[in-house]
Amino acid sequence: MHCAESLIPQEMSWTIFHRWLEVEQAMHWSSLLQTRLNWQQPTVQVYGRRHLVPRLTVFLATEQLCYRYSGTMHCGQGWPDWFEPLLARVNQTCGADFNGCLLNLYRNGDDRMGWHADDEPEIDQTEPIASLSLGATRDFCLRQRNDQPRRESVPLGDGDLLIMHPGCQQQWMHSVPTRRRVTTPRINLTFRCFLDNSKPSRARLVEPN
């Protein structure tokens, strides 16, 4: 069992727990998520033209919590019962109480996510953001938000848990670029603490792609 207080050095921008979920657990969750969720491929408007987002998405959250992404408002309908054991484990490791989770399904290496930071005002920036990866390993790229940006590329594999600490979104952008050699799917879940959902940000109107 991972213990948040003793294992997470807070001076870092992020921490990775490789194989946070063991192989069988990762397969179990991956298959539940693929079969039980209603995956959508939203469209997004870029320079006046509509495009399909290059991945599938789902938003899970406590009831009535709304989040705008890909130009559409998505409202939580409560956590599914079967999802709660996973949420509880992530909460325990992070010492957090996440109330929303954006899930992305990258069908193969052509699916991707462009450069962005999860710094929208409706996300509580004093809390971490936890990112769980299942399935194919994909490079998670980070680029500092300054004049001489340092770049990092972190391969995130099956069962890896990445915790982005408070301050990470202000200092770094991140992306998941195309990787043509990847032929199998990957699911990523980003757990976030949302503040007030009465004034949703329009930041995701310009969807990273």
Site of interaction with ligand AKG (CB under 6 A): 102, 104, 113, 118, 131, 140, 156, 174, 176, 188, 190
For residue 50, the minimal CB distance to ligand AKG (Å) is 21
Q: How far is the CB of 5 from ligand AKG (least distance, A)?
A: 25
Q: How far is the CB of 174 from ligand AKG (least distance, A)?
A: 5
- Do 69 and 56 touch, CB atoms closer than 8 A? no
Residue with tokens 């799917």: 185
Nearer to ligand AKG, 62 or 119 (CB): 119
Q: What does the block give as tokens for 17? A: 């727990």
Rounded to a whole number of angstroms, the minimum distance from the CB of residue 40 to ligand AKG is 14
**Which is nearer to ligand AKG, 21 or 156 (by Cβ)?**
156
| Residue closer to ligand AKG, measured from CB, 3 or 100 | 100
Round to whole Å and give the CA distance between 40 and 191.
Answer: 19
